[in-house]
Amino acid sequence: MEIIGFAAAIIMGLSLGLIGGGGSILTLPILVYLFGLDPVLSTAYSLFVVGLTSFIGSFSHFRQGNVHLKTAIIFGIPSIISVYAVRKFVVPIIPDPFFSVGDFVFSKALFVMVLFAVLMLLASFSMIRKPKQEKEAKGEVKYNYPLIFAEGLLVGGITGLVGAGGGFLIIPALVLLAGLPMKQAVGTSLLIIALKSLIGFTGDLGSGLSIDYNFMLMFSGFAIVGIVLGSYLTKFIPNEKLKPAFGWFVLIMGVYILGKELLF
């Protein structure tokens, strides 16, 4: 099962490199179902893995001029504040069990998995939906600061709770609220994901979680192999064809997780 898990880590990195937003959504299910890790601990691992993998993946986009640094800073600051605060102060005080009704106990781990499954469903719809024809950006990038700040806080909070990068939320926000072309939005989102995920992970340090750094670094290494390969393959494989297919896969996974956690 571990061999399958590390192979899945490569596939996760590959998908992140190929499609940008939504690729990191596979990390938590891999850690929970293939390695048998606790969901709450897995969110911490996921933050580190997604952050490091996205950081490596952003290099190729940076070389191609597809990373808009000013936008990354403007969007990244509220995201970083939010994800760090959630990991440091909110996650530790989530009650366990979250609530109970009769014999049914809704544990903290179940809360994380159900929330994550709902996030997977939302991500899948954004990937399956046919994007509107992109217009060429002209002139300077203009920012809707209040909305960018609010979106940054929201994405950071979601990342803090479930350990996913939130690229499927960031990319549309960068296109709509900052006016970035799609290629720049994808590259910039990787840098934002990297910064907020890695800094968010520091919120778990000293929290009492038993982190196996050797395993985490090994898993990250396989994911990095995937994203480097995926970033290279983007030169030959169009993003528009892969994203809907991956979206259907994520939809099936989300439904499976909901059914497994709530019904079985």
pLDDT at 9 over 90: yes
Q: Can you tell me the distance from the alpha carbon of 157 to that of 117, in angstroms, rounded to the nearest whole number?
A: 16
User: Residues with Cβ < 8 Å from 97, sequence gap 6 or more?
Assistant: 105, 106, 107, 108
pLDDT at 236: 79
- Please, are residues 35 and 2 in contact by the beta-carbon 8 Å criterion? yes
The pLDDT value recorded for residue 224 is 92
Instruction: Please compute the mean of the pLDDT values over residues 104-110 and round it to a whole number.
Output: 90
pLDDT score recorded for residue 242: 79
pLDDT at 135 over 60: no
Predicted confidence (pLDDT) at residue 139 exceeds the cutoff of 60:
no
Amino acid 60: pLDDT: 80
CA distance 252 to 24: 16
Q: Indicate the SS3 state at residue 178.
A: coil
Which H or E run contains 101?
Answer: strand 99-101
* Residue 239 pLDDT > 80: no
3-state secondary structure of 185: helix
Tell me if the bond preceding 92 is cis, omega within 30° of 0. no
